[in-house]
Amino acid sequence: MENIIRLTVHHKDGSTAAVGFVCESVYNAGYAGKDQELVRGHIEELARLGVPAPSETPTLYPLSNYVLTSSGEIQVQHGETSGEAEFVLLMQDGRVYVTAASDHTDRKLENFSVPISKQACPNVIAPDVWLYDDVKDHWDSLMLRCWVVKDGTRALYQEAPLSALLSPEEWSSIWDRVGMKTQNCAFLSGTINTLGGLVFGEEYELSLTDPVLNREIRHSYKVEVLPEGIE
């Protein structure tokens, strides 16, 4: 299946360029915090809630390429889904682009299978991107944020620098070990902690801020819950 995402590349000199990203594969990382001791504590906490514990960390889930979208609205089966702020690497023709993303997840299915819960919802990415080469020397200072709208009220939901997550260089050896094909690949990084627990929101707004080059990427999407069917 062909899935082409239209991107706008914002170069550090202020110029822009249009790129069609041909997505052939999607990978979602999990439990990808740089402090793996904290990650193990989080796994134990989730296990008490019924979420299956992984055999090792970090995790890496291959998904169908059609889940990737830059849409401003997604549809879900029920009201127990939520967004997860992440960075995404889009790899094509020897170049790597980076932007903000949300690995939207079905929380009901998560208790049954984490990868199935990821496959059930879209991976939303911002259509504005930067070249990884333009930010890699100050990567850890990039700031990831997410706001959520619940019952009409907007609140900050997640906030952390990218130093909290495993870096692309740290992931590279894992990709090699599992034989991941990086050409035309979208890699979502795994998320940062929420500020107050999961929120099943009506809208999520993502931002990736570069304090060194003084610029920011933003993208928001609404969540539509489909009506009940006949079973």
Contact 143, 159 (CB under 8 A): yes
Per-domain boundaries in the chain: 3-225
d(CA 208, CA 168): 16
Six token digits for residue 153: 């009220």
Q: Which pLDDT score, from 0 to 100, does residue 49 have?
A: 74
State how far Cα 76 lies from the chain centre: 17
- CATH class of the domain comprising 3-225: alpha beta
- What DSSP designation does 33 have? B
Per-residue confidence in pLDDT tens, the chain, 231 aa: 889 999 999 999 999 999 999 999 999 999 999 988 878 877 886 777 788 889 899 999 999 999 999 999 999 999 999 999 999 999 999 999 999 999 999 999 998 999 999 999 999 999 999 999 999 999 999 999 999 999 999 999 999 999 999 999 999 999 999 999 999 999 999 999 899 888 999 999 999 999 999 999 999 999 999 999 998
Q: Which pLDDT score, from 0 to 100, does residue 78 have?
A: 97
Q: In degrees rounded to 5, what are phi and psi of residue 114?
A: -65, -50
